[in-house]
Amino acid sequence: MKRVTTVCGDIAPEELGFTDMHEHIMFNGADMGAICRPAMPTDLPVKYEDKVSLENIGFLKRNFPLVQDAMDLNDEAAMTREVQEYKDSGGDSMVELSVPGIRLDVEAVRRISEKTGVHVITAAGYYVETSWNGKYDGWSIRQFYDHLMDEIENGIEGTQIRPGCVKIALNDFTEAEEKALRAGGQAAKDTGMSITVHPDYAFGGTPGEIVEILMEEGVNPEKIVIAHMETTVKRPMKEMVLYPEKWGLDLDVAKRVLDKGANFSVEFLSGDIGLEALGTAPIPDWMKMAGIVRLIQQGYSRQIVLGTDMCVKTMCRQFGGEGYCRLTKFGVPALKKYGEVSDLAVRNMTVNNPARILAY
């Protein structure tokens, strides 16, 4: 009998209901800032030690790494309210993908699940190498694997809370990150769990190549989810402004993943996380929807899942964002209203696909 492992124990796949497949609840994204901040101009109107406030929130929505507080979701009461609002808006379950490097208090995540009634599936895995602070330096694939299996079999960080999936994040696709990826693949294969990968799009780390590596390790492609899939041409802001004819859909990378039998996730960020000071901007949600709709038209609705990837305070409802409700109140209704997506396709992306992927 297949089951889904949540922070509160195992449930049947059909109990999941509407599922957000890429989230963070208790989360510290300081490493994201460490990666991006050195390239930022120095003459900006905020300091790293500032708090998110009405005076700076507009700027931080477009330049999130510049204030440490913006990347710190470490308020259990506040995050309980955010998850409760998701529940009240029709959400039933979510996958919390904060792994070592960005993970905070998994016991707080369980308390939030218990209080709100939202099924939460958390992950074993590793964030990008720069977030490890030397903890896993020099590890072999076997050592990465053993650590994953210990969490899967015995609980996370000395708790009784067991993960229900594997998550690996890549940045520069270093040798160490490849070892972690291959170990994650082996753990997914041996347990039957799904594995979600945050790609880096560098040579050797593109979504299609990631799927190939995981398949080399014996992972069933139906259990692979490539996160943050881009379905549009992404160029520097200057180039997009000067040469608007270069805008448009680019489904080649997505199809390379889908045609191997794997899945991908699209996250509705609502423009609340960006790097304008570096000349880049987030892909608007309407562009993401255009890619989703085209792929659904081509028969891929059984391989797409959705989320919001809420990872900075400016995305939270309590700081002027839309929170996890961006998916329930905007993403899904907009796909149906403007994209003419059928109820069946929506159910595949939000109910059927998550149940299939997460059950083991």
Span 239-256, pLDDT tens digits: 888 998 888 899 999 999
Amino acid identity at 332: V
Q: What is the pTM of this model?
A: 0.94
- CA-based end-to-end distance of the chain: 8
Whether residue 211 contacts residue 221, with contact meaning beta carbons closer than 8 Å, is answered with yes
- pLDDT of the residue at 269: 66
Helix (H) or strand (E) holding 187: helix 175-191
Tokens of 172: 């520069």
What string of pLDDT tens digits covers the 360 residues of the chain?
A: 899 999 999 999 999 999 999 999 999 988 777 777 788 888 889 988 999 999 999 999 888 888 999 999 999 999 999 999 999 999 999 999 999 999 999 999 999 999 999 999 999 999 999 999 899 999 999 999 999 999 999 999 999 999 999 999 999 899 999 999 999 999 999 999 999 999 986 666 789 999 999 999 999 999 999 999 888 877 788 888 899 888 889 999 999 999 999 999 999 866 668 788 888 878 889 999 999 999 999 999 999 999 999 999 999 999 989 999 999 999 999 999 999 999 999 999 999 999 999 999
Q: Which residues contact 121 (CB under 8 A, 6 or more apart)?
A: 4, 5, 6, 7, 93, 94, 95, 96, 163, 164, 165, 358
pLDDT of residue 150: 97
Per-residue model confidence (pLDDT) at position 239: 87
How high is the pLDDT of residue 282? 81
The pLDDT of residue 200 is 83
> In terms of residues, how long is the chain?
360
In this structure, what are the phi and psi dihedrals at residue 275, rounded to the nearest 5 degrees? -140, 55
pLDDT, tens digit (0-9, with 9 covering 90-100), for 173-198: 999 999 999 999 999 999 999 999 99
* Non-local CB neighbours of 186 within 8 Å, separated by 6+ positions: 141, 145, 217, 218
Cα 57 off chain centre by: 23
**215-231 confidence digits (pLDDT tens):** 999 999 999 999 998 88
| Residue 94 Cα to chain centre, angstroms | 11
Q: What contacts 24+ positions apart, CB below 8 Å, involve 212-220?
A: 212/260, 213/178, 213/181, 213/182, 213/185, 214/181, 214/185, 214/188, 215/260, 216/182, 216/185, 217/182, 217/185, 217/186, 217/189, 218/185, 218/186, 218/189, 219/185, 219/188, 219/189, 219/195, 220/189
**pLDDT value of position 358:** 98
Residue 42's pLDDT is 82
What is the three-class DSSP state of 100?
Answer: coil
Measure the CA–CA gap between 345 and 339, rounded to whole angstroms: 11
pLDDT confidence of residue 270: 61
How many CA atoms, within 13 angstroms, populate the side-chain half-sphere of residue 297?
10
Does residue 127 sit in helix, strand or coil? coil
User: Which pLDDT score is estimated for 280?
Assistant: 83
